[in-house]
Every structure is written in structure tokens, then in C-alpha cells.
Amino acid sequence: MTQQTIEMLENPRVAVDVDALGFLRTFARKANGQPFSAEQVTGAAALKGIEFQDRRAWGSVFTQAAREGYIRRSDVLFSRALGNGTLSPGWVGV
């Protein structure tokens, strides 16, 4: 058993982080260069059972994916359903 596997078994939060990052990377790749919103990713992930107790935890997942070069900010603005319709720049896979 690897250290990462042991860590995930002992700390479910680590397992969600790893699953969430993998899901985001896959989502971005399948978007084929088309912009997408963070809410599209988090909603699709929730349907697959990848959820945090607090949706704000996704912020660190997006930051990590951007830092590692899997996604970048898009120029396209999306209306946020969970943000009372405010506009927010989307993301695009790199």
C-alpha cells in the first residue's frame, strides 16, 4: 500500500481532494478547449459522488489545477447560480 493510499484511508478529505482534482482535469480535457464554469464542474462532480462538506473547498482544487497547468482562466463570463447571478470568468483546459 502506498503512503498516499494510507493517507486517503486515514483522512477522507485527502481522498476527496485527489478525486476532485482528477475529476477537474478530466472535465477540462473533455471540454476540448471550450470555456466552462466552476459550477458546471462542481455540479457534475456531485452527480458522481465527489463532494466536499463545503463547496468553497473546490477553490483550492481549481487553484492547484491552474498552478499545475491543467486549466487557465477564460475570457468568457458565466452567471453564477449560487452567486445570485453575479458574473464570474470561466475556465478553459490547457
Tell me what pLDDT residue 84 has.
82
What is the Cα Rg of the chain in Å?
14
Helix (H) / strand (E) element for 15: namely helix 12-30
pLDDT in tens, 43-58: 999 999 999 989 899 9
The CA distance from 74 to 47, in Å, is 24
Rounded to an integer, what distance in angstroms lies between the CA atom of residue 4 and that of residue 93?
26
Domain ranges (residues) in the chain: 3-93
Across 33-40, average pLDDT: 96
Query: How much is the pTM?
Result: 0.79
